[in-house]
Structure 1
Amino acid sequence: MKVRTFEGDYRGEGLRIAVVVSRFNDLLTEELLKGALDCFKRHGVEEVHIFRVPGSFEIPITVKKIAKRGYDAILALGVLIKGETRHFELVASQVSRGIAQVSLEEGIPVIFGIVPAEDEIQAISRSGIKSNRGFEYALTTIEMANLFRKLGENNER
């Protein structure tokens, strides 16, 4: 039996990454972005383009528009905080569906870096106070970009 394992790594050299970030809840999304940029810098990513959109709902269409511009991966960043209406559920559902759809249709890793939070305290703790999910999402972005590069170079079955 022949077993081969394929996985990405955390080397950012030569990668071209796009980040689509929501301005809504900008105190938190800016912290996510800072964490992501810190990660990209530490891992040697040479080129990052940032696209700012009004809210998380606008992220999927923007990702779709830039998916064919030669990026190795795209990171989508936003913060959704549950309120008293169904708006949170509707937006969260459509954003996650849209991001997944673009990734599958375009064949490019699109990392879901949307923080869904029950309240502001939870959102703050995930966006930089206790831990910065932006850094974690950026690591996933680098790893998936490298995995897709390896898969593109490997013509074996």
Structure 2
Amino acid sequence: MSGAGAPDQRPVDCHDLRVAIVAASWHEQVMNGLVDGAQRAMRDYQVEAPVVVRVPGAFELPVVAAALAGQGYDAVVALGVVIRGGTPHFDYVCRAATDGLTRVALDHATAVGFGLLTCDDDEQALDRAGLVHSREDKGYEAASAALVTAQTLRKVRSRTA
């Protein structure tokens, strides 16, 4: 597990950003930790009213993220978890979700926080979920990355206007 090399980023004021969190429902304990981490980041970055939308699983993240980006959200934080099983299903879902979220970011020029855990087992997922005994808080990290990117996009756009 990585965790090393993360930037030392202090929260900035993002009160004027419209932000949505789209979160899968599978693996409830892990997902609750990821959503809690993302919402903690929203508070730290002063986002006033983030919208939270739940979807069945990771495969559904891109289509809902695209709909939210199309409604003018400045940032969309996508949270999910896929745990490897004995079939190629893991590879298909991970690829589809990753490629789909990348398309959302590029097609809509919108910040997309990538909080999709792709883990070999439950232990890895729990260790990244931002729970009390977790070593990492990927929900917080994905939200932070999306917010900072949204601020960067805003600055870039204001320079070209």
| Same fold? TM cut 0.5 | yes
Partner residue in 2 for 1:133: 138
Equivalence for 2:95: 93
Answer 1 or 2: higher relative contact order, Cα 8 Å, separation at least 6: 1
SS of the equivalent of 1:154 reads: helix
- Check if 1:10 corresponds to 2:7: no
For residue 44 of structure 2, what is the amino acid of its counterpart?
R
Measured against aligned partners, the alpha-carbon deviations of 1:14-52 in whole angstroms (never above 9, x if no partner) come to 111011100011210110000110111012111200110
By how many angstroms is 1:10 displaced? 2.8
CA–CA separation in structure 2 for the residues paired with 1:43 and 1:24: 27
TM-score normalised by the chain length of structure 2: 0.87
Alignment of 1:97-136 (within 5 A): 97-128=99-130, 129-136=134-141
| Residue 11 of structure 1: how far off its partner (Å) | 2.2
2:157 is matched by which residue type in structure 1? G
1:38 is matched by which residue type in structure 2?
Answer: R
Aligned pair partner of 1:44 in 43, 46, 51: 46
For the pair 1:146 / 2:151, whether they are aligned, the reply is: yes
TM normalised by structure 1 equals: 0.90
Q: How many residues align?
A: 148
- SS for the counterpart of 1:10 is coil
Question: 63-72 vs 143-152, which deviates more?
Answer: 63-72
Q: After TM superposition, which residue ranges in structure 1, 4 or more long, deviate above 4 angstroms? A: none
Asked if 2 retains the 8 angstrom alpha-carbon contact of 1:125 and 1:131, the reply is yes
CA contact (8 A) 2:34 2:138 kept: yes
Contact 1:20 1:77 in 2 (8 A): yes
Distance 2:116 2:30 in 1: 11
Tell me the alpha carbon deviations over residues 126-150 of structure 1, each in whole angstroms, 9 at most, x when there is no partner: 0122221111111101100100110
Unaligned 5+ runs, structure 1: 1-8
Deviations 1:70-107 (CA, angstroms, capped at 9, x unpaired):
21110100011111111111100010001111211111
1:31-70 mapped onto 2 (5 Å cutoff): 31-70=33-72
Check the 8 A contact 2:84/2:119 in 1, yes or no. yes
- Tell me how far apart the structure 1 counterparts of residues 38 and 113 of structure 2 sit (CA, whole Å): 12
Name the aligned partner's letter for residue 158 of structure 2.
Answer: E
Aligned to 1:83: 85
C-alpha contact 1:111 1:137 (8 A) present in aligned 2 = yes
**Percentage of matched positions with identical amino acids:** 32
Note if contact 2:111-2:147 (Cα within 8 Å) is conserved in structure 1.
Answer: no
